[in-house]
Structure 1
Amino acid sequence: MRRPAVIVGRMADLAPLALPADDWHTWLEERGRGQLRVAAERVDALRAGPRGDVTLLGTWDEASLALANARAACSLLASVHPDPAVMELAETIETEASAFDTDLHLDAEVHAALASVPVDGLDADARRVLDETLRDFRRAGVDRPAEDRERLRGLDQRLTDLALTFSRNIRDGRRVTRVPAAALAGLPDDFVAAHPADADGTVAISTDYPDTHPFLTFAHDDAARRAVATSFLSLAWPENDVVLAELLRLRHEKATLLGYASWPDLDAEITMIRTGDAIGDFVDRITAAAGPAAERELAVLQERAAADLAGGAVPVDVSSWRYWFEAVRREQYGVDAQTVRRYFDFPRVRDGLLTVTGRLFGLTWTPVPGDEARTWHEDVTTYDVALDGEVLGRIHLDLHPRERKYNHAAQFDLVPGVLDRQLPEGVLVCNFPRGLMDHDDVVTLFHEFGHLLHHVLAGRQRWVRFSGVATERDFVEAPSQMLEEWAWDAAVLRTFAVDADGAPIPADLVAAMRRADEFGKALLARTQMFYAAVSLRLHLERPEDLTARVLELQREHSLLAPLPGTHFHTGFGHLEGYTSAYYTYMWSLVIAKDMFTAFDADDLFAAGPAQRYRDRVLAPGGSRDAVDLVEDLLGRPYDDRAFTRWLAG
């Protein structure tokens, strides 16, 4: 079994990307369009190069790197920059970069140049780059008749515009629900203090996560919860209903023009799962496996709801499940989320996460002063990352909500790392409160930070294609899901989770939290399969009435009752990014549970397993198939036994 050596090079001699002090518009022009010009120059050189020359592959890599640089900067700034003009420019250049990429992969001359590269003498990595690149050209339609290529070019341009519009509508679709001040009963004191009543006696609850999620978890007022949930579950309605319908139609047209039966078949071809049918089988299998336990959990929630609500039981729906979950966990498991959150003050959690991951993976995180980092907003904190004294790259943490900012949680590339050429830089974009955090937020932070670790640790590849989180798309969540385990370990949490008096979180409380978390996991698995079914079925069926079909899928896969008058699909941002592949989260979880068996559950700080995982799974980036990375870690092919045990309790 081939194991990749830890790649070493002169990364310490490289400087991080210089960000501007103020003129972001000019900087973005230079970084975005400037890198596109570099890419075009390298493509021209590739066309002019002698056929059959192995150096053509290096020229292609240089063009790919410049294109990746342009797209990374624009994708990030279109999502986080506070100046709408910079956001708009970023979107414009991102569209230009997408058009450049489309034209490039439909260029028969470029394809012929690459196809002429002799495979004899190429090492394994170079051969992999060549094979995957030629595959990309085929999947783009370079071998199609001229009229088909022209239609594909038009489809890609329109799909890019629609995808940007879909995401923009969600980002800019922030809503506010006015509720009576009395509806704050049950919420933590700091939340109440941060939401004073207006002169009319009402309080504004926005669709930002730090507002909506605590309100749906703690507010006693059922009607107010329903009102807030209705706003949250109708983001970008009705605008995105039309946008999504066209996205689905054009994706299907593109897939069939390329010779595939459906968009999911095209989308899945280069993943671990391989086919659209296999996605459907996986969704159905998990739905069935979780069914009996989910039914039992739902019965507990409904019984608890009936005890409180006058007039008997009502269905537990998407506006109330968090509230009744919290009640059951508090009363039956002895875990009060408001007591728990006393131990999770945001600055301590952030700093604790860095300490934990540094200790685990042998990393050093050095804060970069704001005047040196010069980021896009004062909320952003920046750190240089080193391993054994060698600089690996730089990270930026943008973790609080603000107007028009990307309103979910994700890791964005700023710079893809390439050995001896440029340091990797990644950005964590989240929307956490500035004070006390729910433990769910802590878990989310660990999860997203897993992507950032992957980006930086895999940033010393020789080929940009393999840099960062470049594995199959249905594996990329597995490392992040596995890092969540450290957010549930008492020894880990007690290194940073302390109350206002400095007392660490009690180990018996963490144990109770783990027991409480076990309750509801089957019900939540069914909900995840609802999301996966929406992702798959809308692309397969392209129904005329999207809302009606989504409600049908919810009743089929999720046991939580739908909320009338909501339109989940218009705010489901993964329909733009993951398209038909939301199943990825559960598929990756199967692998994550198995990978975790390589660690000592009684000592999660043990250096040996963590560093083997760092070097064998994270550092190789996309240079090997995910199945081989996991087998190298475990010493055997992965299986679903650990996941099945977890799901069954």
Structure 2
Amino acid sequence: MPKTLFYILPVVFAIFVYWSMDNTQQPLEWDHSPEQILQLADQLITEGRELDDLVASTADNASFKNTIAPIAHLENVQARISNQITFYQHVSASKELRDASNEADKKLREFSIESGLREDVYKAIHAVYENELDKLEGEDKRFLEKVHRQYERNGLNKPENVREQIKNLKQKLSTYALEFSKNLGEETEHIWFTKEELEGVPEDVVAQFEQENGKYKMTFKYPDLFPVLKYAKNPETRKRAFVGDQNKVKENGPLLKQAVETRAELAKLLGYENFSEYILEERMAKTPKTVMDFLVDLRDKLKPLGKQEIQNLEKLKQKETGDLEYYVWDHRYYHNKMLEEQYQVDEKQISEYFPLKQTIERMLAIYEKIFQLRFKQVENPKTWHSEVQQFSVWKTDSKEEFVGYLYFDLHPREGKYGHAANFGLAPGYIDVKTGRKVYPSTSLVCNFTRDLAKKPSLLKHDEVVTFFHELGHGIHDLLGETKYARFHGTSVSWDFVEMPSQLLEYFCWSKDQLKFLSGHYETGEALPDNLIDSLIKSKNVNGALFNLRQLHFGLFDMSLHTSVDGKVDMDRLWNDLREEVALVKNGGQTTTGYASFGHLMGGYASGYYGYLWSQVFAADIFYTKFKEDPFNVKSGLEYRRKVLEKGGSQEEMDLLVDLLGRKPSSDAFLQELGLQKASN
């Protein structure tokens, strides 16, 4: 999940905020031309250099007020413009706008690198750090600590020639990341199948495929790919779909390889043993050893259960085909078959109870109750695409108070970001000149099917879970109550950022909430008890294999970034690790799935472990505060105020201790995975 597009650039950009009579804030405007996007980027950069000059000039009499406060203020006011103009590349239907947005992103990243290596600016900041740190408190102190550390981690304590090398390496990494992302966004690869080859795939899915000469075009977008992998009876169809998806965007493979080598070189210049050591210094885990101990311990605990799960799936395949060989492209199909045959979970039938429009309304109602919020849909919104929905969001626990704007962009289209993610469009903060709160905007970007002529878009249960997950990020982004944009909402440690969204996933497995969420698209009836009971029983079916798959990704990531020189045989590592850790056979296929592993170029380098790491905290909070009563408003408000509203303004462990009354425990997480019995 790319969680935000916020770049910390010390720039000046005056934004006049228009306030309406009811104390709401006018929404963002989305009428930029390609030329305006590039002009805004240039203006941000020009004014950024002016600010750097101003800060550098304070070196002899540097203080928080004349040195740090201007940086903080200008980070605040420029964030929404930089976020917005770089967001178009992920969602605009216009290739010209996407290209301009990508170019603006490149310019801003390059300037950020240049700005972060100015020794004269660092000297002024360091003077304040030496003279005033102990006199500050709260967000002011944390801001100074973070800014000072940011410059030191850029190598400002290194000789000038080394700093120049650091600058060049960072600019290379920026270019690689942008190109990687653009290639993924522009990907249009596909496979043509006959109707016979698609036997078993739901008719409403096949009906959305483009047809030509009696064949059906399956793209690698999730609404096309996943049903084929899950339902196609022909194993060769599943194999072609899986291998094709794994091998898409071939040009990204060399980019990742170059990035990994460049990261290793950068870490060495900065005085670290490897890139992972450099990255984890700023995370909750702190060291590669802590992460590897966590991942290896979890792998060892899960492996026996995973082997048992594989054996059960192999028996299903043998019963159906007589073949005992179980391949990676078989997994979704036989997992789904097990759910249907042994747990009576018919995903197609269950999806009939989750029409998209109704699910949105009821999902928002759950968030409204738990967190005491109200969502008001904006009629005829002016956004980046006609399909986008916009909501104004309000707190309701005391008096009604405006929170910010939420956008839903839910359907696939050419050139659009192909997965599901939350993008922070504008952080909230307190304007230091007026003392008034500036409110945030955030967007969920997903790829659900569209309505058909005779049937609305129906969500599979796992898509409902995905929706709850991403809205968990969105709510975190909206509810921030911080002074500085730098700490707003999801601006927390990357191995904590998934926790709020993972916590909300649990709410998709509660009987009462499933009753409330569901309603058949024809009759309006809620999911019957037998389907709910079967669904809940199925929650952790093949759960060890699911988490071993996550461990494959996490260990692959750590193997790349603990390498001293970054020279790793990625093909071998990717494929061998999958067989060794995820326990599924590659069937002699060497695939390059790492070329579309966007996390490794989108902020999660040496950080993918965070998905598993933060589940420990999510499980502990849910079991402690919500398991007995998921609709508990008291717990919801306590969690909102002690965690969500704090953003990154305090150490994450301190937030957890404040909420739980103790340090977090892994007991609930292990219990959830079936690795530990519930304590009495």
TM-score for both structures, normalised by structure 2: 0.90
Q: 2:500 aligns with which of 451, 468, 479?
A: 479
Q: Kindly report which structure 2 residues correspond to 1:322-471, keeping only aligned pairs within 5 A, or say none.
A: 322-370=332-380, 373-388=381-396, 389-419=400-430, 420=436, 422-434=438-450, 435-458=457-480, 460-471=481-492
SS at match of 2:351: helix
Q: For residue 43 of structure 1, report the CA deviation from its aligned partner.
A: 2.9
Matched, 1:493 2:514: yes
C-alpha contact (below 8 Å) 2:62/2:124 kept by paired residues:
yes
Q: Kindly report which structure 2 residues correspond to 1:511-522, keeping only aligned pairs within 5 A, or say none.
A: 511-522=533-544
Q: 2:272 aligns with which of 247, 251, 260?
A: 260
Q: Distance between the aligned counterparts of 1:429 and 1:523, measured in 2?
A: 28
Further displaced range: 542-551 or 521-530 = 542-551
Q: 1:632 aligns with which of 635, 640, 658?
A: 658
Match of 1:48 in 2: 57
Matched, 1:34 2:43: yes
Matched, 1:230 2:248: no
C-alpha contact (below 8 Å) 1:166/1:243 kept by paired residues:
yes
Matched, 1:555 2:579: yes
**Percent same amino acid among aligned pairs?**
28
Match of 2:284 in 1: 272
Further displaced range: 83-92 or 556-565 = 556-565
Match of 1:247 in 2: 259
SS at match of 2:212: coil
Opposite residue 25 of structure 1, the aligned amino acid is P
Opposite residue 601 of structure 1, the aligned amino acid is K
Q: Deviations over 1:597-644 (max 9, x none)?
A: 232324211100011000101000001111111111111000101111
- Taking a change above 3 Å as real, the CA distance of residues 120 and 193 of structure 1, as seen in their structure-2 partners, is closer
Match of 1:192 in 2: 206
C-alpha contact (below 8 Å) 1:39/1:64 kept by paired residues:
no
Q: 2:623 aligns with which of 597, 619, 635?
A: 597
Opposite residue 526 of structure 1, the aligned amino acid is L
C-alpha contact (below 8 Å) 1:272/1:475 kept by paired residues:
yes
Q: Distance between the aligned counterparts of 2:123 and 2:359, measured in 1?
A: 53
C-alpha contact (below 8 Å) 1:39/1:67 kept by paired residues:
no
- Taking a change above 3 Å as real, the CA distance of residues 197 and 105 of structure 1, as seen in their structure-2 partners, is closer
C-alpha contact (below 8 Å) 1:416/1:467 kept by paired residues:
yes
C-alpha contact (below 8 Å) 2:25/2:439 kept by paired residues:
yes
Opposite residue 598 of structure 2, the aligned amino acid is G
Match of 2:118 in 1: 107
C-alpha contact (below 8 Å) 1:536/1:580 kept by paired residues:
yes
SS at match of 2:419: coil
Q: Distance between the aligned counterparts of 2:325 and 2:360, measured in 1?
A: 40
Q: Distance between the aligned counterparts of 1:20 and 1:245, measured in 2?
A: 36
Q: For residue 27 of structure 1, report the CA deviation from its aligned partner.
A: 4.4
Further displaced range: 542-551 or 474-483 = 542-551
Runs of at least 4 residues off by over 6 Å = none
SS at match of 1:98: helix
- Taking a change above 3 Å as real, the CA distance of residues 126 and 604 of structure 1, as seen in their structure-2 partners, is same
The aligned length equals: 632
Q: Distance between the aligned counterparts of 2:33 and 2:364, measured in 1?
A: 29
Q: For residue 507 of structure 1, report the CA deviation from its aligned partner.
A: 3.1
Opposite residue 417 of structure 2, the aligned amino acid is Y
Q: For residue 187 of structure 1, report the CA deviation from its aligned partner.
A: 2.2
Match of 2:295 in 1: 283
Q: Distance between the aligned counterparts of 1:197 and 1:73, measured in 2?
A: 37
Q: Distance between the aligned counterparts of 1:39 and 1:421, measured in 2?
A: 23
Q: Distance between the aligned counterparts of 1:43 and 1:65, measured in 2?
A: 16
Match of 2:4 in 1: none
C-alpha contact (below 8 Å) 2:41/2:107 kept by paired residues:
no
Matched, 1:134 2:148: yes
Q: Deviations over 1:460-515 (max 9, x none)?
A: 31112211211111000011001001111221122231112111112332221121
Q: 1:569 aligns with which of 591, 594, 610?
A: 594
Q: For residue 120 of structure 1, report the CA deviation from its aligned partner.
A: 4.8
Match of 2:13 in 1: none
SS at match of 2:448: coil
SS at match of 2:218: strand
Further displaced range: 595-604 or 260-269 = 595-604
Matched, 1:71 2:87: no
Q: Distance between the aligned counterparts of 1:290 and 1:224, measured in 2?
A: 30
C-alpha contact (below 8 Å) 2:412/2:447 kept by paired residues:
yes
Opposite residue 423 of structure 1, the aligned amino acid is Y
Q: Distance between the aligned counterparts of 2:329 and 2:310, measured in 1?
A: 14
Q: Distance between the aligned counterparts of 1:263 and 1:84, measured in 2?
A: 35
- Taking a change above 3 Å as real, the CA distance of residues 544 and 617 of structure 1, as seen in their structure-2 partners, is closer
Q: Distance between the aligned counterparts of 2:462 and 2:482, measured in 1?
A: 34
Q: Deviations over 1:171-227 (max 9, x none)?
A: 22232111110123222232233236532x321111000010111111111111111
Match of 2:106 in 1: 95
Q: 1:203 aligns with which of 175, 191, 216?
A: 216
Gaps of 5+ in 2: 1-18, 431-435, 451-456, 676-680
Q: Distance between the aligned counterparts of 1:89 and 1:142, measured in 2?
A: 32
Q: For residue 565 of structure 1, report the CA deviation from its aligned partner.
A: 4.0
- Taking a change above 3 Å as real, the CA distance of residues 13 and 40 of structure 1, as seen in their structure-2 partners, is farther
Opposite residue 482 of structure 1, the aligned amino acid is L
SS at match of 2:302: helix
Q: Deviations over 1:347-389 (max 9, x none)?
A: 111222211111211111111123xx31111111111111131
Opposite residue 562 of structure 1, the aligned amino acid is N
C-alpha contact (below 8 Å) 1:522/1:647 kept by paired residues:
yes
- Taking a change above 3 Å as real, the CA distance of residues 14 and 42 of structure 1, as seen in their structure-2 partners, is farther
Match of 2:321 in 1: 309
Q: For residue 543 of structure 1, report the CA deviation from its aligned partner.
A: 4.0
C-alpha contact (below 8 Å) 2:261/2:567 kept by paired residues:
no
SS at match of 1:133: helix
Q: Distance between the aligned counterparts of 1:24 and 1:483, measured in 2?
A: 38
Q: For residue 31 of structure 1, report the CA deviation from its aligned partner.
A: 4.5
Matched, 1:62 2:87: no
C-alpha contact (below 8 Å) 2:295/2:609 kept by paired residues:
yes
Q: Distance between the aligned counterparts of 1:14 and 1:28, measured in 2?
A: 26
Opposite residue 571 of structure 1, the aligned amino acid is S
- Taking a change above 3 Å as real, the CA distance of residues 428 and 194 of structure 1, as seen in their structure-2 partners, is same
Match of 2:180 in 1: 166
Q: Distance between the aligned counterparts of 2:652 and 2:169, measured in 1?
A: 31
